[in-house]
Amino acid sequence: MTSKMEERSGLGIGIITRGNVSIKWMTHMQQLQHFFPVGMFWKYIVIEDETGWAKNRIEVVREAQKENFEWLLFIDDDVFCKRC
């Protein structure tokens, strides 16, 4: 049986970027929160690095595990979410 402290909750949004993103992309990402259920805890996990997308995805997963998120969503800095 798990205690309340051990239960996973919330959403981690993993973003791997080379650094600068367009203002259009940033404003688009700000709209994303309107599609989450009211009261849902969520947090961006951002890795800024040009040296290895696979390695950086692993770092995002590790950070999400430390935060004990139930869900993890990856959004690359060169795509737009369809519903936002």
Domain positions in the chain are: 15-41+54-79
Model confidence over 11-27: pLDDT tens digits? Answer: 999 988 888 887 888 88
In angstroms, rounded to a whole number, what is the distance separating the alpha carbons of residues 63 and 46?
A: 10
In angstroms, rounded to a whole number, what is the distance separating the alpha carbons of residues 45 and 56?
A: 11
In angstroms, rounded to a whole number, what is the distance separating the alpha carbons of residues 74 and 19?
A: 16
pLDDT of residue 71 exceeding 90, the answer is: yes
Model confidence over 30-52: pLDDT tens digits? Answer: 888 888 888 889 999 998 887 77
Tell me the pTM: 0.76
